[in-house]
Structure 1
Amino acid sequence: MADDSSTTAVPSPPFDSISAVKYSPTNPDQLLVSSWDTTVRFYEVGEKGVKESEAKAKFDHRAAVLSCCFSDAAHAYSGGLDTSVRELDLSTERIANLGSHSDSISTMAWSRESNCLITGSWDRTLRFWDPRAQSHQQSSHDTPERIYSLDLVNNTLVVAMASRLFNIYDIRKMDQPAQQRESSLKYMTRSLACMPDGQGYATASVEGRIAVEYFDPSPAAQEKKYAFKCHRQTIDDVDHVWPVNALAFHPIFNTFASAGSDGTVSIWDHKVKKRLRQYPKFSAPVAAIAFNCDGTKLAVGASYTWDEGEAGLKTAQSPAVLVRKLGDEIKPKGWAG
């Protein structure tokens, strides 16, 4: 793995492909990792030479877990191929079933604004859950296509679907989307992340491109949107193009990271349309990334992503979860904050 003094590996990583890495919203050292090995793992991330990282808990599921998220320091949620929405008690390791979708759960996020869990599924529904209520499922909303990914900032929810469709909702008014859009990218949507400043979102495709989009539908705001090529390389005069598997915005600087099946992670300043940094290449595709809540660390889930089917398994590296300590490379130029 691309290991240097800034990068530490967490112990007891999953033994199959990593589907998501998520940090606690309040504790910069607590990390969740979901995997195709049917587990969600909970870690306390240490620092080289100071404190060792520790595997704190492991939650077993009946099938591959595709998504996970925290709500607070004590609770997390998970979902995947077994269609069940689960609440994970991080201190007691108890699992509670809140309900289910009628097909695999592909994505989820916790809304701090409305204190609820939002899940998206291949069954073409968005569902809202309140773990404290007697009836956990609060509402269900049909979407035109299978849901691949969702993210939210404040009360704005962005949902990426099959057929390159996007719905943008105000979660306080879910009777219909506030906007419906088609992707600016020609190929299937692989990843999505909202800007912390609430202005818009970034999305990426299986074909090495990222689009930067803005919520404001006015022509002036829409003129600012753009797309660019990334995670590509010319080898022996042949252009190789890799999927962009994950995007994550820095919580303070509003820059963002992209991760690809080429094994690289790059940091971008989307305001000036420049790459600030590309980290040393990992020896496996990067499947998932996440910044911690204070923006001092980046978690990287490196594992085989099935881009080459079963044939690629023969040479696949074992999965690894690495945590990189961040420096000034994530700040926009001229940052005075």
Structure 2
Amino acid sequence: MSWNNHNKPKQPSIAGSIAKDVELPADNCDTIQSMRWSPVSDHLAAASWDGKTRIYEVAKDGSGQGVAVLAAEGPVFSCDWSKDGTLVAAAGADKKIHILQAASGETLSFAAHDAPIHDVRFLNAPDAPSPIIASGSWDKTVRYWDIRNTSAPVASLPCGERVYAMDTVGQTLVIATAAMKVLLVDLAKPTVIHREEQSSLRHQLRSISLSPNGKFWASGSIEGRASVNAVDQKQAKAMNFTWKCHRDATANNKVTKVYAVNAVACHTTMEDRVVTCGSDGIYNFWDIKAKQRLKNFPSVGGAITSCAFDRTGSWFAYAVGYDWAKGYTGNKPDYPTKLVLHPVGEEMDVVKDGMRR
């Protein structure tokens, strides 16, 4: 199912504003590839191509300051917080997992894969004696780690293709791989692929995000298109759809510029709200139940490479930096590299008949 000309997203009458967006200190020297908020506090982790994951403490007014740095031996592609907010994990090109103890500042690093790691996630494992980490790599495996003994993974899952993105909620792990495959894993049986699907998107997957209730995942691709898919196959007919976004048609509508959807994120408290972020430097808020774009925002001046909502859903963080969409020739010395917070307000409400619902 898709949003076609007869059922396309309704456009809001007023565009969103970035006037109140707050820029955090420009500590990173290169593009931020991943960011995650603490699930228990107002701290934000941002992983950068400069080999560092920086931890920011964010005040109620959106101002922030760096409080810790976790260093790697190469570009960092992913980061995540443990469920209790005591640990930060990061991974990337050096094939290692790096862990920071938030309270003490102590760090731990260990070799984890035979190729760069694209995503790392702490799993919901309440009965485990120690936090369990899942890491997805271009070596075509997901490996599970108990940080008490990092000499070998506690288990491994062959994925058949390179892992491009992962997310987890509850007992579900969703994995996007090359060849437009999506793998679903029931963490009760972490070494078994519960379901494998061909993505409803037709080109390389760039990002994936599970809804907070675990009922669906949203994904984005390099062709300026996003999708929503039900975790429960019984809900697929009613819930699954794709739509075009991050595209720019010229005045004569004969040429359309298509931009990659670099990041998608599900709102943390509103179950039907999703944001998409693109190479066009634009982020859009969507109501996927009403199949409606709630607000379209103006360009922020550079490609958006990563995004995340905080635990309350009141702050939306996004990173601006070069995404290599135009090759090395597009990487100018003055290309913006920044980390920004947007205060989330009424733009998440559906506008209908002049009333917010």
Match of 2:47 among 7, 11, 34: 34
- Report the TM-score, using the length of structure 1 for normalisation: 0.92
Alignment of 1:68 onto 2:76: no
Note the 1:286-301 alignment, pairs <5 A. 286-301=304-319
Matched, 1:326 2:326: no
TM-aligned CA deviation for residue 304 of structure 1: 0.6
Q: Aligned residues, how many?
A: 332
- Once the two structures are superposed, the pairs formed by residues 28-107 of structure 1 within 5 Å of their partners are 29-48=42-61, 52-71=63-82, 72-107=84-119
- Indicate the residue corresponding to 2:328 in structure 1: 310
TM-score under structure 2 length normalisation: 0.87
Map of 1:250 onto structure 2: 267
Does the aligned pair in 2 maintain the 1:31–1:44 contact within 8 Å?
A: yes
CA contact (8 A) 1:7 1:322 kept: yes
- The Cα RMSD (Å) is 2.2
Distance across 2 between alignment mates of 1:125 and 1:139: 10
String of CA shifts for 1:269-311, please: whole Å, max 9, x gaps: 0011100012232001000000000111000111010000111
Q: Structure 2 regions of 5+ residues with no counterpart?
A: 1-15
**Contact 2:88/2:99 (CA < 8 Å) preserved in 1?**
yes
Q: Which residue of 2 aligns with 1:209?
A: 225
Q: Deviations over 1:151-179 (max 9, x none)?
A: 11210111000001111010111242111
CA distance in 2, matches of 1:164, 1:316: 34
Residues 1:251 and 1:332: Cα distance change in structure 2 (over 3 Å): farther
3-state SS of paired residue (1:311): helix
CA distance in structure 1 between the partners assigned to 2:46 and 2:120 by the alignment: 14
Query: What residue number does 1:22 align with?
Result: 36
* Identity level (%): 29
Whole-Å Cα distance in 1 between the matches of residues 164 and 215 of structure 2? 22
Letter in 1 for 2:77: L
Counterpart Cα distance in 2 of 1:135 and 1:328: 49
1:239 aligns with 2:276: no
Displacement of 1:4 in angstroms is 4.8
* Structure 1 gaps, min length 5: none
State the 4+ residue runs in structure 1 displaced beyond 4 angstroms: 2-5, 133-136, 332-337
CA distance in 2, matches of 1:139, 1:124: 14
Alpha-carbon offset, residue 132 of structure 1: 3.4
Q: Deviations over 1:211-231 (max 9, x none)?
A: 11012223x633431100000
Distance 1:252 1:336 in 2: 18
Q: 2-side partners of 1:159 and 1:4: how far apart?
A: 32
* Structure 1 residue 333, shift from structure 2 partner: 5.8
Checking the alignment, whether the CA contact within 8 Å between 2:141 and 2:157 is kept in structure 1 is yes
The one-letter code sitting in structure 1 at the alignment partner of 2:105 is E
